[in-house]
Each structure stands twice: as C-alpha cells, then as structure tokens.
Amino acid sequence: MSTTPAPSRSLTPAVLHRLLREGRAPRLLDVRTPAEFRTAHIPGSYNVPLATLSEHRAELRDHLDEDVVLICRSGARAAQAGQALAGAGLPGLRVLDGGMVAWEEAGAPVNRGPERWDMERQVRLVAGSVVLASGLVGVLVPGVHLIGTAVGAGLTYAALSNTCAMGVLLSKLPYNRGPRPDIRTVIAELRSTR
C-alpha cells in the first residue's frame, strides 16, 4: 500500500506580509528559475529551483522545519515542491496562495532585478509560434499541421498533469539560467539564518 503525501496548505499574501512585518517570518523558498527569481522576489527568500529542490530534497530536509512557505509564479510549482518535500519527510509545508502574482497584486514588498519573461509567458510564445508556423506551412506541405496537433496534445497533458515538458526544456536555455544556486551554498545560508 502506497501513501501519497498530503497536499501543502496555502498561506495568503496578506497573512505572509503580516508575519514578515511582525518579524515572525517563516523560511521562504522560491522554486522558480534563477532568472525569474532575479527579476522579482520576496525579500529574504531563498532561490531553490524546483529541479534542484527535487534532486536534493533529502539534504534540504535536514535544514528545514515545518515553518516553510514555498513560492513560485502562481502556486503550481510550489505545490509540486511541497509534494517532493512531504515525500522526503517534511509534511505541513505551506504554499503562497497565488504565488508572486498574488504577492505583487497585494502591493507587498519585492526586490527587483533585470526584467525577464516568466516561464508561462515563454511557453505560450513557443507553443503559439509552433502551432502558427505549422498551420501556415501545412497549407503547402501536407501533414505539417500535425506538429501543431502534437503541441496541443502536449499542452493538454501539461494542464492535466500539472507539469510542463516545454517549460522544463525552456528553463535550460541560457536566458533562464544564470547563476544556479549551488545546493551547498543554499544549505550554508539556511544554517546561518536559524
């Protein structure tokens, strides 16, 4: 019999902002790409991209407690990170409800860097461009339109499974990388702040 980790609880931007103002801030782990993190992040948060977190969850578990809030753009990647950490023995983690989108809409403080397109926007651009190009070329070359159909099937699967292969591939581009947080550096920072 297998057990599925319990889903992470959510925390509203208003509650998190109040906790930060009162000096009772939980540990904030931002699981977006380094480029997304550099563009805008909550002051005091640590960047641990989802792939790094998933790969090193056992190491991270030893340096985290249950007072952790996971952050991404909208909440989907943070929920995946919560499941990964719950599977490693850290149940009860919280996810920032609505992610950075909701945090910024609430007017909460943000550290800003150079502007970059977020991953969702990049996926929409690439998927839309492939579908448009295959549709136009498909008028002249029979069968090319099936490329657009395959992209549509991939996007449908991405929505149903709450994963995105195209997003994973795009995250590997130099535009989205930058200085990747080294797990030893992250763990050293986590140790030094508690």
Q: How many CA atoms lie within 13 A of 41 on its CB side?
A: 24
Question: Any alpha helices (H) in 56-144, and if so which ranges?
Answer: 57-61, 76-87, 99-105, 119-140
Q: Is 164 a catalytic residue?
A: no
The full length of the chain comes to 194
Q: CB-based contacts of 14: which residues, under 8 Å, 6+ apart?
A: 106
**CB-based contact 137:144 (threshold 8 Å):** yes
29: which strand partners? 46, 70
Q: Is 49 left (phi over 0), alpha (psi -120 to 50) or beta?
A: beta
Helix (H, G, I), strand (E, B) or coil at 105: helix
Q: Which of 29, 69, 72, 131 is catalytic?
A: 72
Q: Which amino acids are annotated catalytic? A: 72
